Structure 1
Amino acid sequence: MLTQEQQNNVVALCQKLIQSPSYSGHEDGVVARLKEFFEANGFDSVHVDKYGNVIGCMKGNRPGPRLQFDGHIDTVPVEDASKWEHDPFGAEIVDGKIYGRGTSDMKGAVAAMACATANFAKATNRDFAGEIYVAGVVHEECFEGVAAREISAYVKPDYVVIGEASQLNLKIGQRGRAEIVIETFGKPCHSANPEKGINAVYKMAKVIEAIRTLEPTHHPVLGDGILELTDIKSAPYPGASVVPEYCRATYDRRLLVGETKESVLAPINALLEKLMAEDPELKVKASYAVGKEMCHTGNVIEGERFFPGWLYDENDDFVQAVYGELKAMGYNPSITQYNFCTNGSHYAGEAGIKTFGLGPSRENLAHTINEYIEIDQLVKVCDCYTGVLKALMK
């Protein structure tokens, strides 16, 4: 277990990170705090890439694997601070909890990763094999895994530990996520004479009903590949007596292991082709949404919104090595899957890197008013991360 000094250190770092607001694209304050910590605690190098991800590296005295801790440092906004009982950026401690935006999602985990690495290097006098990387990742709330591509290209990790909330349980997979855009194209005219045009919204209504007849894909562990309508827009808007010539619907598609961009769109495209064959006036197409955001470095980050699912076997050697070490330390983690999407979509889903999740706090505290992390969870996950290093850095 952590010494009192180590407990104080991880709480203090967590508070510093919370006190630096870091909405997506404005993470520079947290980057500065992490750089300070890395430099003050003997990390061998600190790297900030073009997107503004910050990566600290601690090297052992012997060659060995590269392990990367991954924690995003951006948060969703605080829409109305007056609804909070505690200052969302005050990092106040009340009844054993630290309150603030990003405590649970996921600056607590980032602080624990950084402190665990420093603790491990000091306790072993760096007599361990390999290199440990702590990555503070930007723009995860906008699109999971896009900024992470730059990190894995730099680090080339053998293992990745995702710090998203898991209540100290091991997470060995997740469904992925895609945003699918359906567009219908009509013909504008005055709404007093609608027969002279083609209403793109009416056409979209037929498409939506047809899409609802598609059978979802299924995985025995991850469940259904859900396809759910999330928004719909027409143009021109407001209509002002004009029949809409364009309509766009967005769908959230939960992705299962092995699904590709092509395989996911194939049944949708087949359905749309059938509908167009039946209705000569229907013009419709499907594609993936593209995200584009400005980074705190001034560079643009852009990516198609397709983030693959992934799943490892609980009997895989690296999973059992960590599980066994945590059990030996007195913890009793279950081995399950995340219910939401993480940067693991890139590391495991795209790059095939051995990845698992282990984090403090509960999933349902993310993005909430009065978000908090229990200090007990923060301290314990820091201890657990030390166990991960003992298990894998051999």
Structure 2
Amino acid sequence: MEHSPLSLAQSLLRCPSVTPEEGGALAFIEGVLKQAGFEVHRPVFSEPGTPDVENLYARYGTAEPYLLFAGHTDVVPPGDAARWTYDPFGGEIHGGELYGRGAVDMKGGIACMMAAALEFIGANPDFEGSIGFLITGDEEGPAVNGTVKLLEWAKGRGERFDHCILGEPTNPNQLGDMIKIGRRGSLTGRILVEGKQGHVAYPHLADNPIPGLMRLLEGLLKEPLDRGTDHFDASNLEVTTIDVGNPAANVIPAEAKATFNIRFNDLWTPHSLEAEIERRLREAAGNTVRYALTMEPTNAVAFLTPPNEFVGFIANAIKAETGSQPKLSTTGGTSDARFIVKDCPVVEFGLVGQTMHQIDERVAVADLDRLATIYRKVLDAYFAG
């Protein structure tokens, strides 16, 4: 049976798989891949306080090398469906574009991966190597019962991957703009400065914590964390909230709080960055500011897949199809690539992300065909021997 990227994408978009609901998306993928000869598993993972999540792992072949396609079928809620021009779960085509929640993030990408893999296997059923799919239903949510546990489950079965392509929407403007070869880490901290509440007319009887908090924040921000690296921008600290919880203009507050987030490059680890934050705060506080620092646990660590032959396969396929030389980037937020990189080199390349998470999320039908062709060219080069 022929499976075009468009028909696969439409079938996936018609599955209402809002996190953590499976919505029929993984069942559809299972049916298609099994028909093509893949061995398919559907593990369900649990964690106290979080909903159970269905996942999918499939493999064709037993030999090496092993190229893994990764992604997620869960999507964010569509919001008010009445504000959509077309049904967010209708998979409708208008003006050469396919509309639906997940069209670019990232059911469209999964459809292109599937189409490319099925076409390649149809032409090369006895190729030397393996192709796999690692698909979670828990990427847009807490990401607890998804890729992390699915990787652990696969390794427990003895699975070992050589390389991975993650199909997140990486292109800012047009297909071929950008490959993600790494991601920055993310670290969040909270500062509490203690004072003493009192009347503003009697400041000697109180202790205003706000000036102390301002001193601490100035100490954090006055010097750059670094100047960046060959593949990463400079690490960036942003203060995201300052709160005193004080509705009265004539009351000095008892405490002041601030929250900050750092997107950091591969010059830092969470541990070394926390040590630097503590050093800056101690220096700014001196002996006068009483404060407490809380750093939140993080699983978002900076990583890099250095430009190599595998990255070259993808870049060459993109240029051959689009005529564009893609930029090798580490920008943007976090993705499940941060988990996969612990097991094998991972590169992200997918559709244009301009409408992801928006009302009327959509993808050009032509881009689906072109992305599937790019993935197919990568498969041809990867397994060429």
Q: Does 1:186 align with 2:185?
A: no
Provide the aligned length of Structure 1 versus Structure 2.
366
How far the C-alpha of 1:221 sits from its partner, in A, is 2.9
* Corresponding position of 1:17: 12
Is 1:176 paired with 2:167?
Answer: no
What do the CA deviations read for 1:276-296 (whole angstroms, capped 9, x no partner)?
3331x51221402xxxxxxxx
Contact 1:74 1:141 in 2 (8 A): yes
Q: TM-score, normalised by structure 1?
A: 0.80
Instruction: Tell me, yes or no, if structure 1 residue 150 matches structure 2 residue 154.
Output: no
CA offset digits 1:341-392 (Å, max 9, x no partner): 32222223xx1622112212x2322222221011111112112222222222
Unmatched 5+ stretches in structure 1: 289-303
1:39 to 1:226, Cα distance in 2 relative to 1, 3 A: same
| Structure 1 range deviating more: 145-154 or 266-275 | 145-154
Compute the displacement of 1:175 (Å).
3.5
Matched, 1:358 2:362: no
Contact kept? 1:145, 1:345, Cα under 8 Å: no
State whether structure 2 residue 274 is matched by structure 1 residue 265. Answer: yes
Change (3 A) 1:41 1:179: same
* C-alpha distance in structure 1 between counterparts of 2:10 and 2:56, whole Å: 20
1:54 equivalent in alignment to 2:55: yes
Structural RMSD (CA): 3.1
Partner of residue 298, structure 1: none
Higher helix share: 1
How far apart, CA to CA, are the structure 2 residues paired with 1:190 and 1:203? 16
**Judging changes above 3 Å, is the alpha-carbon distance between structure 1 residues 200 and 392 closer, same or farther for their aligned structure 2 residues?**
farther
SS at match of 1:64: coil
Contact 1:169 1:358 in 2 (8 A): no
What residue is the counterpart of 2:336 in the other structure?
343
Q: Using the alignment, how far apart are the partners of 1:162 and 1:134 within structure 2?
A: 10
Matching residue within 219, 222, 226 for 1:210: 219
Residues 202 and 390 (structure 1 numbering): CA distance in 2 closer, same or farther, change over 3 Å?
same
SS of the residue aligned with 2:79?
Answer: coil
Q: 1:258 to 1:158 in 2, by over 3 A?
A: farther
Deviations 1:217-261 (A, max 9, x none): 2223321111112234456x8789986555543323122124201
Aligned to 1:96: 96
Amino acid paired to 1:54 = N
Please, which of 284, 290, 306 is the counterpart of residue 275 of structure 1? 284
Relative distance call for 1:196 and 1:140 in structure 2 (3 A) is farther
Measured after TM superposition, the shift of residue 129 of structure 1 is 2.2
Matched, 1:311 2:304: yes
Distance 2:254 2:10 in 1: 52
Please tell me whether the aligned partners of residues 170 and 357 of structure 1 are also in contact (alpha carbons under 8 angstroms).
no
1:95 & 1:334 partners in 2: Cα distance?
27
Write the letter of the residue equivalent to 2:137.
V
Q: Is the 8 A contact 2:45 2:146 kept in 1?
A: no
SS of the residue 1:133 aligns to: strand
1:135 aligned onto 2:134: yes
The residue that corresponds to 1:291 in the other structure is: none
1:389 maps to what in 2?
379
Deviation at 1:81, TM superposition (A): 2.8
Stretch of structure 1 that moved more, 334-343 or 370-379: 334-343
CA deviation after TM superposition for structure 1 residue 104, in Å: 1.0
Change over 3 Å in CA distance of 1:243–1:28 after alignment to 2: farther
Task: Name the CA distance, whole Å, in 2 between partners of 1:145 and 1:389.
Answer: 31
Query: Structure 2: how far apart are the matches of 1:260 and 1:287?
Result: 13
* Aligned mates of 1:198, 1:88 — CA distance in 2: 54
| CA-CA distance at 1:131 after TM superposition | 2.2
Q: Deviations over 1:86-119 (max 9, x none)?
A: 2222221001111112111111001221232222
Does the CA contact (< 8 Å) of 2:13 and 2:103 recur in 1? Answer: yes
- Which segment is superposed worse, 242-251 or 159-168? 242-251
Classify 1:324/1:271 alpha carbon distance in 2 versus 1 (closer, same or farther; 3 Å).
closer
Relative distance call for 1:247 and 1:345 in structure 2 (3 A) is: farther
Contact 2:179–2:329 (CA<8 Å) still a contact in 1?
Answer: yes
Tell me, what secondary structure is at the counterpart of 1:105? coil
Residue in 2 aligned with 1:229? 239
With over 3 angstroms needed to count, the CA separation of the structure-2 counterparts of 1:243 and 1:122, relative to structure 1, is: farther
Of stretches 84-93 and 21-30 in structure 1, the one that deviates more from structure 2 is: 21-30
Q: Per the alignment, do residues 202 and 333 of structure 1 end up closer, same or farther by CA in structure 2, a change over 3 Å counting? A: same
Change (3 A) 1:188 1:39: farther
